[in-house]
Amino acid sequence: GNSVTQMEGPVTLSEEAFLTINCTYTATGYPSLFWYVQYPGEGLQLLLKATKADDKGSNKGFEATYRKETTSFHLEKGSVQVSDSAVYFCALRSGEGAQKLVFGQGTRLTINP
Amino acid sequence: SAVISQKPSRDICQRGTSLTIQCQVDSQVTMMFWYRQQPGQSLTLIATANQGSEATYESGFVIDKFPISRPNLTFSTLTVSNMSPEDSSIYLCSVVQAVEQYFGPGTRLTVT
Write out chain B's pLDDT in tens, 112 residues: 889 999 999 999 999 999 999 999 999 998 899 999 998 888 999 999 988 788 999 999 999 999 999 999 999 999 999 999 999 999 999 998 877 788 999 999 999 9
Nearest-by-CA chain B residue for A38: B105
- Residues B56, B48: contact at Cβ < 8 Å? yes
Interface of chain B against chain A, CB under 8 Å? 31, 33, 41-45, 48, 92, 94, 96, 99-106
Who among A45, A99, A105 is closest to B96 (CB)?
A: A99
Strands B4-7 and B56-57: unpaired
Burial of B97 (0-12, 13-18, 19+ CB in 10 A): middle
**Omega before A31 cis (within 30°)?**
no
Interface mutation target, options B34, B42, B93, chain A, most CBs of A under 10 Å: B42
Q: How far apart are CA A20 and CA A36, in angstroms?
A: 15
Which residues on chain B are in Cβ contact (under 8 Å) with A102?
Answer: 45
Distance (Å, whole) CA A8 – CA B35: 22
Taking the C-alpha atoms of residue B15 and residue B84, their distance in angstroms, rounded to an integer, is 5
